[in-house]
Structure 1
Amino acid sequence: MNKYMRFLLVVVFLAVLLAVFQFSGLRADLSLDFLRELILQHKFSGLLLFSLLFALGNLIQIPGWLFLAAAVLALGRVWGGLATYGAATFACCCTFFLIRLLGGAALRELDNRLAKRIIGHLDARPIACIALLRVLFQTVPALNYALALSGVRFRQYLAGTLLGLPLPIALYCLFFDYLGKMLHLS
């Protein structure tokens, strides 16, 4: 399969997945209140479902901060942050494997000077680049797709993700904890 067919396969898969969740109404059901109640009512299974929903949400463009806010409001900033760190890592890994399965390393095959330069930087320092990208963009789905299609090795992707996520998650935890206290939500 050529590189353009792989890109098309990824785009079609994501569009169909988004359409199914949009038109079924399930996308709208993934709200702050729903996620918070899920965690509060079912401690262990709620966290498992929270992680699965985070992974699905990452694929269908639901912002990661929604999951983080729900976890912080339900569990507090420390446990909510830890739950989100685990769920975010799981979501990023699921996205990586699925997009890599569908699209391979299609970005690496592009005959584009800019793409080759970016891939060159990623190849030179993959873990540092991914960690920096995580600090700046956290779990943004487009970043996950691009990294999966870049051909970077999974262990480098995982290491960069594990190193880059704690700082932004900690900052968001402080923010949502403060906001929750100010609005009497936690």
Structure 2
Amino acid sequence: MPRYQRLLAVIVFLGVLALAFQLSGLREHFNLAFLHQKLLDNKLSGLLIFVLLFALGNLIQIPGSVFLAAAVLALGEAWGGVVTYVAAIASCVFTFWVIRLLGGDALRQLRGRVARRIFVQLDAHPVRSIALLRMLLQTVPALNYVLAMSGVRFRDYLVGTLLGLPLPILLYCVFFDYLAKALHLARF
């Protein structure tokens, strides 16, 4: 399939998915209170719902910080961070495969000096590049889309993601825990 058709397929898919979430009312469940309550109600089913919603939310541009805050409030700083790390990895992997299936390596086929320079750097140091991007942008959906359509190998994507996410998640955990204590928000 030509690159423009692949890019169009990704855009149409994401548009239809966002519209379906909006019309079905599922988007209302992507909030701090709902996620927090699900994690408190039943640890096992709450964790499964959390991971599923994180993965779906990542596809429709829901910030990962909403999920992280809910996990820290419900499970505490340490366990909230661990659960978020696992959910973030699952979400990134899910997004990679869905977008790769639809978009292939459509961005790799782009012409131009800037695109060539970016791909030379990505090809020379894929794991390091992805880890640095994760440290800066965490699970930002647009980053997942771009990396999936960049033609980067899945192994490099996964290792870069595994290495790049712990530091920002740790920093956000400390921040949300501090914020919860400062605002006297209910925990556990």
Secondary structure (helix, strand or coil) at the match of 1:97 reads helix
2:166 partner amino acid: P
1:16-69 residue CA offsets vs partner (Å, 9 max, x unmatched)? 000111122211221101000111111112111100100000000000000000
2:6 is the alignment partner of 1:28: no
Aligned to 2:3: 3
Aligned to 1:69: 69
Distance 2:76 2:140 in 1: 23
1:82-122 residue CA offsets vs partner (Å, 9 max, x unmatched)? 00000000000000000000000111111122111111100
Normalised to the residue count of structure 1, the TM-score between the two structures is 0.98
Contact 2:29/2:35 (8 A) holds in 1: no
Please tell me the root mean square deviation across aligned C-alpha atoms, in Å.
Answer: 0.7
2:174 is the alignment partner of 1:171: no
**Percent of aligned positions that are identical:** 66
Distance 2:43 2:29 in 1: 20
Report deviation, 1:184: 1.6
Which piece of structure 1 moves more, 113-122 or 54-63? 113-122
Number of equivalenced pairs: 186
4+ residue segments displaced more than 6 Å? none
Aligned to 2:93: 93
1:126-159 residue CA offsets vs partner (Å, 9 max, x unmatched)? 0000000000000000000000000000010000
Distance 2:101 2:61 in 1: 19
Which piece of structure 1 moves more, 106-115 or 145-154? 106-115
Secondary structure (helix, strand or coil) at the match of 2:76 reads helix
Aligned to 1:149: 149
Normalised to the residue count of structure 2, the TM-score between the two structures is 0.97
Report deviation, 1:9: 0.1
Distance 2:112 2:44 in 1: 47
Q: Which runs of 5+ in 2 are unaligned?
A: none
2:40 is the alignment partner of 1:40: yes
